[in-house]
Amino acid sequence: MLNITNLNFAYGSVQALTDIELTIPKAEITCIMGRNGVGKTTLLQNLMGVLRPASGSIEMDGKNMARWPAHKRVYAGLGLVPQGRHIFPKLTVEENLRIGLQGRTDGQRRIPENIYDLFPVLKQMSHRRGGDLSGGQQQQLAIGRALAGDPKVLLLDEPTEGIQPNIIHHIGKVLQQLVSDMQMTVILVEQYLDFVRDIGQRVYILDAGQVVAQTQAGEISQEMISRHLSV
Ligand SMILES: Nc1ncnc2c1ncn2[C@@H]1O[C@H](COP(=O)(O)OP(=O)(O)OP(=O)(O)O)[C@@H](O)[C@H]1O
């Protein structure tokens, strides 16, 4: 689905990503792991076009998107659930979801009902202000907003951060459902190992801006954990 080759990015003189190579298969949950500050968010932002890589290619369906602006990548089918959720606090839940509709190419202006089926709390709270929702409800709203853009590839940046276990479980089930029922491709940046083991397939581990290990979620070794993941 997505092939990333030789991707490099620097913040000024700080090299944040070096020769990143990733293969992201369609209709799987590919996980990007690594300690704080290793470049996970920088990688997602390069994939989305929020940041532009210095070199390298990001191919989707045979097209290299590396020089494309973010909006063109959204129209091509990428959707981001950013770290920290970035809900518009003064807009209602419904208005936040409507913003996601801007990413669609089919002109649909109604919020798809399946978003409310996946996250019933968003229906119950559709007229509440985003800023009044709990962290877990905001995370569901951030995912719902990304889904409103009808993405083929959903990128999520640490969706379990600060979220209570039953909502994490629900989010995991939703992601698995999107993959199995809608053939969605998911790129999940995550530090929560049990969540990755529960729902992930392929796993890439970053350290100091480089891919240092690649494995399957069920096969993450103790050695990988102590070398690259534990603090
Ligand atoms: N705007 C910026 N300007 C300069 N350096 C930055 C900037 N943003 C991030 N960095 C640096 O780039 C490196 C990678 O940061 P990044 O946020 O991508 O890491 P991360 O793996 O997502 O971390 P976390 O798990 O804490 O979210 C870090 O060394 C960070 O200090």
Name the residue with the closest Cα to ligand 1, atom 9.
42
Residue 231 pLDDT > 80, yes or no? no
CA 18 from chain centre, in angstroms, equals 20
pLDDT value, residue 23: 97
What pLDDT score was predicted for residue 211? 98
Does the structure show a pLDDT above 80 at 137? Answer: yes
Query: What is the best residue among 9, 11, 35 to mutate for testing ligand 1's pocket, by most ligand atoms within 8 Å of CB?
Result: 11
As a whole number of angstroms, the distance between CA 34 and CA 56 comes to: 21
Going from the C-alpha of 60 to that of each of 26, 179, 220, the distances in angstroms are 10, 17, 27
pLDDT, average across residues 10-24: 97
In the predicted structure, residue 24 carries a pLDDT above the cut 90 = yes
Give the strand order in the sheet containing 153-157: 78-81, 153-157, 185-189, 29-33, 202-207, 210-216
Query: What's the whole-model pTM score?
Result: 0.96
Q: Residues 45-54: pLDDT tens digits?
A: 999 999 999 9
Greatest C-alpha distance within the chain:
50
**Ligand 1: centre distance to CA 217 (Å):** 24
**How far is Cα of residue 151 from the mean position of the Cα atoms in its chain?**
11
Ligand 1, CB cutoff 6 Å, lining residues: 11, 14, 16, 34, 36-42, 83
| Residue 155, pLDDT score | 98
Q: In the numeric block, which tokens belong to residue 53?
A: 């890589």
Average pLDDT over residues 99-105: 94
Better-scored residue on pLDDT, 204 or 231:
204
Which amino acid residue places its CA nearest to atom 7 of ligand 1? Answer: 11
Q: Which domains does the chain have, with CATH numbers?
A: 2-229 (3.40.50.300)
DSSP state of 27: T
Contacts of 172 (CB under 8 A, 6+ apart): 195, 198, 199
pLDDT tens figures, 165-197: 999 999 999 999 999 999 999 999 999 999 999
pLDDT digits (tens, 9 = 90+) for 104-125: 999 999 999 999 999 999 999 9
Q: Work out the pLDDT band at 42, boundaries 50, 70, 90.
A: very high
User: Given this model, what pLDDT does residue 1 score?
Assistant: 85
